[in-house]
């Protein structure tokens, strides 16, 4: 990477760093941050240093002829605006919307909040037999133990399985997606129940699933997905298939053939209307990496009910009801007053879920956060009540003008949503005067290290020193037969080589690319700009 020429000077001039250095804790951005950032926001377009030529060169590459770039960089320690370009204009923020959603949820729920999913025995006990039903009362737990590592943290891979149908390189975490249900089943058995003369019912009444994509549901197992992993064998033979979680009545058939090395890998997935019959077809090249695809679980309640009945069977508890079929929600009682709780699954703390959502841009988790906030407010209305909590957070806690944003979901899924660079920077500034400032920063993808930005800039001096959430919204320009990038962005913190933190936001809207590789180059360009800004800040702050 070519160094950026000096464009501004504050204090003594420091030389460019030649290699990565260890991360250090930035302690210079504490109590003064809110006031300094408010001052910076007020003068965002009044004065800033010229944009570095190397950054300008990226902004004028092919594909950006009709694009709009936004840039805002501020030193939170004193409010100095370093770079500002269209900082108060509205841009499509893509997944940078998650910075606002998860900030509100983290504060409202609390970083140590745990979801407790109880199971009640309704009916009467006769020795070890329950004459009645087991009711699992879903609580909006994002993973139900399916990603929990032995140390209690939540596992992730840099390209998450939820993105497997859209992005190359998606991989699975090693944990059992049914771990939480297995634990519940063992607890039921430990309570003395060995037989249920009745049914198992999922109680999903805690909130009404909103019309969002992906749709959050009260019970979520494996992100409401069936994982389909195809591994090549020898040319001319059927590829090897691994799928999970294996729950009746789901069945998977693969017709994927292995072709010679260097051949085309192209795997398609189709499913029956109810999602229970899944078929894979296509080809995979010999010697290539396994290819992950997913298929939707259409009825999470019915799936969860069957999965729990099967888990109970493995734990030594017999259920007389038919294990497959619809969830008999109508049999649920009005309340569980007087019914014993025979099991409960307790989630990891919410800060672990927030980290997962931010690291891999977990869309389902971000939309679910709206429902989690609604439930906290005593409502089942994810959209109305969830956004009301978020609005209160912005106005009363973060002291950020909410009119700088326009959102219709928690994930940032379309081009109708808007945010200003200043607004995103103010959210980032809010965190710097909270006890969770470091935890939040390390929840963001780290350039060249982990999360969504892991593979970008792996050898540049800024590796490990840019903590930023990327945002991407891609569409198709059918008129010209090419992809159009409604948004590609990065928003987060630059850590200078001597441990000083700088807030930055860079967005580009309406860029074009000839193909998927061109889209990836746009992603890399925003990371390259992030790296250049980090190098410049290290040299001159």
pLDDT in tens, 429-471: 999 999 999 999 999 999 999 999 999 988 899 999 999 999 9
DSSP state of 404: G
Q: Which fold has domain 114-221+297-348?
A: 3.50.80
Q: Which whole number is the average pLDDT over 206-218?
A: 98
Class of domain 33-110+351-540: alpha beta
Q: Which residues pair with 254 in a beta bridge?
A: 280
Q: Give the mean pLDDT of the chain.
A: 92
Q: What integer pLDDT is reported at residue 48 of this predicted model? A: 77
Across 136-151, b (16+ Cβ under 10 Å) vs e yields: bbbbbbbbbbbbbeee
Q: Which whole number is the average pLDDT over 387-402?
A: 98
Q: Which whole number is the average pLDDT over 179-195?
A: 98
Q: Which tokens go with 431?
A: 């965190």
Q: What integer pLDDT is reported at residue 5 of this predicted model? A: 30
Indicate if the pLDDT at residue 263 is higher than 60.
yes
Q: What integer pLDDT is reported at residue 129 of this predicted model? A: 98
Q: Which residues pair with 511 in a beta bridge?
A: 485
* Rounded Cα–Cα distance for residues 314 and 310 (Å): 6
Indicate if the pLDDT at residue 283 is higher than 70.
yes
DSSP state of 334: S
Indicate if the pLDDT at residue 34 is higher than 60.
no
Dihedral sign for Cα atoms in the order 352, 358, 359, 363: positive
Q: Which whole number is the average pLDDT over 17-41?
A: 38
Share of the chain above pLDDT 90, in %: 89
Q: What integer pLDDT is reported at residue 28 of this predicted model? A: 33
* Rounded Cα–Cα distance for residues 474 and 484 (Å): 6
More confident residue, 218 or 24: 218
Q: What integer pLDDT is reported at residue 458 of this predicted model? A: 87
Q: Which whole number is the average pLDDT over 379-384?
A: 98
Q: What integer pLDDT is reported at residue 47 of this predicted model? A: 54
Across 295-305, b (16+ Cβ under 10 Å) vs e yields: bbbebbbbbbb
Residue 36 banded pLDDT, cuts 50, 70, 90: low
More confident residue, 1 or 34: 34
* Rounded Cα–Cα distance for residues 500 and 496 (Å): 5
Min mean pLDDT across 35-49, 220-234, 478-492 is at 35-49
Indicate if the pLDDT at residue 302 is higher than 90.
yes
Indicate if the pLDDT at residue 286 is higher than 60.
yes
Q: Which tokens go with 319?
A: 């259920």
Q: Which whole number is the average pLDDT over 335-361?
A: 98
Claim: this prediction has a pTM higher than 0.75: yes
* Rounded Cα–Cα distance for residues 288 and 444 (Å): 31
Min mean pLDDT across 8-17, 68-77, 172-181 is at 8-17
Domain ranges of the chain: 33-110+351-540, 114-221+297-348, 226-294
Q: Which whole number is the average pLDDT over 395-404?
A: 98
Distance (Å) of CA 394 to CA 199, 371, 423, 427: 45, 17, 10, 8
Q: What integer pLDDT is reported at residue 540 of this predicted model? A: 85
């Amino acid at each position: 990477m070519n160094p950026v020429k000096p464009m501004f000077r504050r204090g003594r001039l420091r030389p460019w760093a030649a290699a990565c250095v260890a991360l250090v804790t930035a302690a210079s951005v504490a109590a003064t941050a809110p006031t300094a950032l408010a001052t910076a926001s007020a003068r965002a377009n009044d004065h800033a240093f010229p944009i570095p030529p190397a950054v300008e060169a990226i902004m004028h590459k092919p594909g950006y002829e009709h694009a709009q770039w936004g840039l805002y960089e501020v030193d939170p320690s004193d409010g100095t605006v370093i770079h500002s370009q269209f900082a108060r204009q509205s841009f499509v923020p893509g997944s940078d919307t998650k910075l606002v959603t998860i900030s509100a949820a983290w504060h409202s729920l609390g970083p140590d909040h745990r979801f407790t999913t109880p199971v009640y025995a309704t009916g009467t006990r006769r020795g070890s037999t329950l004459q009645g039903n087991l009711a699992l009362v879903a609580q909006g737990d994002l993973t139900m133990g399916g990603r929990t590592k032995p140390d209690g943290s939540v596992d992730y891979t840099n390209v998450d399985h939820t993105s497997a149908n859209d992005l190359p390189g998606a991989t699975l975490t090693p944990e059992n997606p049914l771990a939480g249900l297995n634990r519940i089943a063992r607890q039921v058995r430990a309570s003395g129940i060995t037989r249920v003369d009745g049914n198992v019912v999922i109680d999903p009444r805690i909130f009404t699933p909103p019309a969002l994509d992906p749709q959050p549901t009260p019970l979520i197992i494996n992100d409401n997905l069936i994982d389909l992993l195809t591994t090549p064998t020898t040319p001319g033979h059927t590829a090897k298939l691994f799928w999970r979680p294996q729950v009746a009545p789901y069945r998977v058939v693969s017709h994927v053939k292995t072709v010679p090395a260097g051949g085309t890998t192209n795997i398609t997935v189709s499913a029956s209307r109810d999602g229970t019959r899944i078929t894979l077809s296509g080809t995979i090249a010999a010697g290539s990496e396994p290819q992950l695809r997913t298929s939707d679980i259409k009825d999470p309640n019915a799936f969860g009910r069957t999965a729990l009945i099967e888990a109970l069977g493995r734990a030594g508890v017999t259920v007389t009801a038919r294990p497959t079929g619809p969830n008999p929600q109508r049999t649920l009682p009005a309340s569980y007053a007087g019914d014993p709780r025979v099991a409960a699954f307790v989630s990891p703390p919410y800060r672990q879920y927030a980290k997962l959502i931010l690291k891999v841009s977990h869309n389902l988790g971000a939309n679910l956060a709206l429902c989690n906030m609604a439930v906290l407010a005593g409502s089942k209305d994810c959209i109305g009540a969830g956004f009301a909590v978020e609005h209160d957070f912005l106005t009363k806690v973060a002291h950020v003008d909410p009119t700088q944003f326009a959102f219709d979901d928690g994930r940032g899924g379309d081009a109708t949503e808007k945010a200003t660079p200043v607004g995103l920077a103010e959210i980032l500034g809010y965190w710097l005067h909270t006890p969770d400032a470091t935890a939040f920063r390390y929840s963001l993808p780290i350039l060249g290290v982990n999360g969504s930005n892991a593979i970008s800039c792996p050898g540049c001096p800024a590796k490990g020193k840019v903590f930023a959430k990327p945002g991407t919204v891609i569409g198709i320009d059918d008129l010209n037969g090419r992809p159009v990038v409604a948004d590609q962005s990065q928003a987060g913190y630059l850590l200078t080589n001597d441990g000083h933190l700088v807030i930055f936001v860079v967005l580009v809207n309406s860029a074009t690319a000839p193909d998927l590789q061109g889209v990836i180059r746009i992603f890399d360009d925003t990371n390259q700009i992030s790296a250049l800004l980090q190098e410049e800040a290290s040299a001159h702050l």
